[in-house]
């Protein structure tokens, strides 16, 4: 390794013709703080004496320094010793107050420091460790570590940066929601030392963890690294139109297995078993290796995952990696009322499932007027949230999906599903905002006890607006036909008394039909309406709309093509529907306007009493334009027909059974017909994706045949089997995963 002394000498001489006249200032012997020494230094551009040298003794300096218009050579004792201990022991601590180091419209040298605990500027937004703007600062032999910014450049933010970097380590920095946890470049042409190379690894960001060059840049630098997170180009870590990227070593050895994480774990564990869990979710995402042929799960073991417990948010999600908790009651992500986003999934990520956990105490004061989003998805395919609880959060959006105007991804590979998700006691503008030309399914979910956001920063047309679900599409001739369904959902006790309309469901600008099936809308309050429709075709089937003191339950736009209402219980019938001069509506005689007779509406129990008129009042079959919208088998409901609403009444239970809740793990839902002659259809359900085995045994437990032995996605599935080769008798059908089992007797009669 060449001597750093000569390199530094070259840099100093290149800036000053009168080095011998420049002063040397000592910290803390002569100046108590680094900033006071910088302020006392001469201005390089107005002084014939050249730049001053500031030598800082080992120690911790809690301050935020600014080079201002000075050219100074700021160095630790590394200048003298060339020992790494000088770097580690000479620390500038930003105290989470602003950027630790600021260099604007100047040049200088920063040599031999640890830069840590910065929070960015202005107002914490960019450049947690170092903020560089129109500067030629040379950064030598420094460690940039454990800095944070809300926006971009957790370690370094560099705009119009034309300096020099040598032997700099940028690690364990992070950003809250955007790119470049390590370094964010825009219009920068920094030179990186090709001999004493820099290293950038294990930083965290909402996207592109380590290095990012803005797409708004006219040019991006050449990247020469000794060590990066991995030794190849992976946009999970490095992204941008860099002139070149050359990496010698990778810090991470990727793991091609499922991983386990626990709040009590340790990142030095293997993470391969529940007995040796990792600690940080972000670290597990960094090291897991997955692709379309080898999808992986990160299992979150029971416990509370929180910022004070060492967890970092947001999580930068990968394609083909699912986050699987241990159940709503057991795995809890507690944001502790801090301004953290949970998750940001950048464009074109695929096959992502989040399931079996609670997310609580998210907070955004909304005073900036920004549309905060706790979980954000962008132009992704096969996104699934299952068995989730969102409670006591404050945000403009709990979940937001933004898709392209024209769907360029194969429609067979795209979907957005929310199953068995409960949204309770949140203060929000919109719970689920789904703007996409994709298949959308919201099933078995509960939206209860919400308040609207209250912020004077919001525009009057937005202030106070509450929506449980907002679905939008695009009136483009290139839009693909998509399916949008809201099934078995409960919308209850949601309130809005502000100017704009409080709605539980808002739909607009769709080329595809919307189906709302077996939902219960009750005890909601609003000054205007409950459901807003501006779509071409909407079908209401088997729903309850029973809300006191609402001017209208449903309002439809003049552009509406058709609205079909079948087997619903609407409190005031057609009087609760604001046609808005639109006469294209089908109101079947099967609709009723009778008190549903809930068990205990006052306390939020919307199951049905035994004498409810809604029992057996729904329809099991609904076909429109040749498409079968509902086709329930007799063993999927009790009685002569399904009940209206989200609950099915079972006499042996004395009240309704909530069939909107999915199992925590697996279930064989039905075998129909059963008994059967030779062929039957098995309908089964998975609460999370994974390897399954569906097999047949005789009554003595002897294995006969396996029908499925493969990785299967979550949700409901069908498989037809033929047992014509077996003798009549009773058999056991067994569905197994790595952690659970369900079985059902079937009878073959020939």
Q: DSSP string of 114-165? A: EEES---BTTTTB-SSEEEEEE--EEES-EEES-EESSB-SSEEEEEE--EE
**Lowest-confidence region among 257-266, 322-331, 373-382, 422-431:** 373-382
* pLDDT for res 584: 67
Q: DSSP string of 556-623? A: E-TT--EEEEES-EETTGGGGEE-TT---EEE-TT-B-----EEEGGGTEEEEPTT-TTTT-S-SEEE
How is domain 4-250 classified at the CATH fold level?
A: Pectate Lyase C-like (2.160.20)
Q: Does residue 505 or residue 407 have the better pLDDT?
A: 505
Q: Does residue 408 or residue 192 have the better pLDDT?
A: 192
Q: Does residue 698 or residue 284 have the better pLDDT?
A: 284
Cβ contact 368:396 at 8 Å: no
Out of 276-290, 350-364, 680-694, give the one with best mean pLDDT.
276-290
* pLDDT for res 12: 43
Cβ contact 509:538 at 8 Å: no
Does the 666-748 domain belong in CATH 2.60.40.1930?
yes
* pLDDT for res 112: 97
Domain ranges for the chain: 4-250, 255-363, 364-655, 666-748
* pLDDT for res 6: 38
210-222 pLDDT, tens per residue?
A: 999 998 889 999 9
* pLDDT for res 347: 66
SS3 748: strand
pLDDT band at 428 (very low <50, low <70, confident <90, very high): confident
290-342 pLDDT, tens per residue?
A: 988 888 999 999 999 999 999 988 888 888 899 999 888 899 999 888 766 77
How many whole angstroms from its chain centre is CA 600? 36
Tokens 């209401």: give the residue. 540
Q: Residue 476: CB partners within 8 Å, gap ≥ 6? A: 405, 406, 437, 511
Q: Pick the closest to residue 193 from 153, 158, 230, 221 (CA basis).
A: 221
Cβ contact 568:642 at 8 Å: no
Cα–Cα distance, 34 to 282 (Å, whole number): 35
Q: Is the fold of 4-250 the same as that of 666-748?
A: no
* pLDDT for res 407: 40
* pLDDT for res 561: 66
Cα–Cα distance, 298 to 360 (Å, whole number): 20
> Which residues lie across from 743 on neighbouring strands?
734
* pLDDT for res 132: 96
Strands 183-186 and 211-213, sheet pairing: parallel
Q: Does residue 111 or residue 504 have the better pLDDT?
A: 111
How many whole angstroms from its chain centre is CA 424? 18
Residue 95 has pLDDT above 60, yes or no: yes
* pLDDT for res 708: 86
523-577 pLDDT, tens per residue?
A: 888 766 777 777 678 889 999 999 887 788 888 877 666 788 999 999 988 888 8
H helix runs in 27-137, sequence order: 34-40, 78-81, 84-89
Average pLDDT over residues 456-462: 35
* pLDDT for res 45: 46
Q: Which tokens belong to 118? A: 């910065």
* pLDDT for res 220: 93
Q: Pick the closest to residue 98 from 132, 64, 137 (CA basis).
A: 64
Out of 39-43, 128-132, 359-363, 476-480, give the one with best mean pLDDT.
128-132
Q: Which tokens belong to 325? A: 């908790």
* pLDDT for res 46: 42
pTM: 0.78
């Amino acid at each position: 390794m060449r001597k750093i002394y000569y390199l530094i000498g070259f840099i100093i001489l290149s800036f000053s013709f009168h080095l011998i006249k420049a002063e040397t200032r000592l910290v803390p012997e002569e100046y108590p703080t680094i900033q006071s020494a910088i302020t006392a230094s001469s201005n390089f551009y107005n002084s014939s004496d050249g730049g001053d040298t500031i030598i800082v003794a080992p120690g911790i300096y809690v301050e935020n320094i600014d080079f201002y218009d000075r050219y100074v050579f700021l160095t630790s004792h590394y200048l003298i010793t060339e020992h790494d201990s000088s770097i580690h022991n000479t620390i500038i601590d930003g105290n989470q107050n602003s950027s630790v180091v600021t260099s604007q419209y100047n040049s200088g040298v920063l040599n031999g420091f640890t830069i840590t605990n910065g929070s960015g500027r202005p107002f914490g937004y960019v450049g947690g460790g170092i903020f560089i703007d129109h500067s030629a600062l040379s950064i030598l032999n420094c460690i940039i570590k454990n800095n944070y910014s809300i926006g971009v450049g957790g370690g370094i933010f560099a705009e119009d940066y034309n300096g020099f970097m040598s032997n700099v380590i940028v690690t364990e920095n992070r950003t809250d929601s955007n790119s470049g946890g390590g370094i964010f470049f825009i219009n920068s042409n920094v030179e990186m030392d090709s001999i004493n190379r820099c290293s950038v690894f294990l930083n965290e960001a909402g996207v592109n963890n380590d290095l990012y060059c803005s797409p708004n840049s006219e040019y991006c630098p050449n990247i020469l690294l000794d060590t990066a997170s991995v030794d190849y180009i992976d946009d999970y870590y490095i992204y941008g139109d860099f002139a070149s990227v050359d990496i010698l070593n990778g810090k991470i050895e990727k793991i091609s297995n499922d991983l386990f994480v626990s709040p009590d774990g340790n990142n030095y564990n293997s993470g391969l078993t529940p007995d040796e869990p990792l600690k940080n979710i972000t670290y597990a995402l960094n090291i897991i290796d997955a692709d379309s042929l080898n999808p992986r799960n990160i299992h979150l073991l029971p416990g509370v995952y929180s910022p004070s417990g060492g967890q970092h948010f947001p999580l930068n999600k990968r394609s083909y990696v699912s986050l699987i908790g241990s159940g709503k009651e057991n795995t809890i992500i507690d944001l502790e009322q801090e301004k953290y986003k949970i998750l940001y999934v950048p464009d074109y990520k695929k096959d992502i499932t989040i399931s079996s956990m609670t997310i609580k105490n998210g907070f955004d004061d909304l005073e900036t007027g920004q549309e905060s989003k706790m979980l954000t998805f962008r132009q992704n395919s096969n996104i699934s949230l299952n068995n989730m609880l969102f409670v006591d959060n404050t945000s403009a959006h709990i979940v937001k999906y933004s898709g392209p105007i024209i769907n360029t991804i194969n429609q067979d590979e795209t979907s957005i599903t929310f199953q068995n998700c409960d949204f309770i006691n949140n203060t929000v503008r919109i719970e689920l905002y789904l703007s996409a030309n994709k298949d959308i399914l919201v099933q078995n979910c509960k939206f209860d006890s919400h308040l609207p956001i209250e912020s004077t920063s919001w525009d009057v047309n937005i202030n106070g607006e509450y929506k449980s679900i907002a679905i939008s599409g695009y009136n483009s001739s290139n839009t693909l036909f998509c399916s949008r369904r809201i099934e078995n959902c409960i919308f209850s006790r949601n309130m809005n008394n502000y100017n704009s309309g409080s709605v539980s469901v808002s739909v607009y600008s769709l080329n595809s039909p919307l189906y709302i099936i077996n939902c219960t809308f009750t005890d909601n309050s609003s000054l205007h309406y409950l459901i807003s429709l501006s779509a071409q075709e909407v079908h209401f089937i088997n729903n309850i709309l029973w809300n006191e003191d609402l001017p209208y339950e449903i309002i439809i736009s003049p552009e509406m093509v058709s609205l079909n209402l079948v087997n619903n219980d609407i409190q005031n019938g057609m009087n609760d529907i604001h046609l808005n001069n639109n006469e294209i509506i089908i109101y079947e005689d099967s609709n009723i306007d009778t008190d549903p007779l809930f068990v205990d509406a006052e306390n939020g129990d919307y199951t049905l009493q035994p004498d409810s008129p809604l029992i057996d009042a729904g329809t099991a079959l609904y076909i429109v334009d040749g498409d079968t919208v509902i086709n329930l088998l007799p063993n999927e409901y009790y009685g002569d027909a399904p009940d209206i609403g989200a609950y099915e009444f079972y006499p042996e239970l004395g009240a309704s059974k909530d069939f909107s809740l999915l199992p925590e793990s697996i279930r064989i839902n039905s075998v129909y017909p059963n008994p059967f002659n030779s062929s039957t259809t098995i309908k089964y359900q998975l609460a999370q994706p994974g390897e399954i085995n569906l097999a047949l045994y005789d009554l003595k437990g002897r294995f006969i045949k396996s029908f499925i032995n493969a990785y299967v996605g979550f949700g409901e599935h069908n498989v037809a089997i033929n047992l014509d080769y077996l003798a009549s008798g009773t058999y056991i059908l067994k569905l197994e995963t790595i952690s659970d089992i369900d079985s059902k007797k079937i009878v073959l009669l020939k």
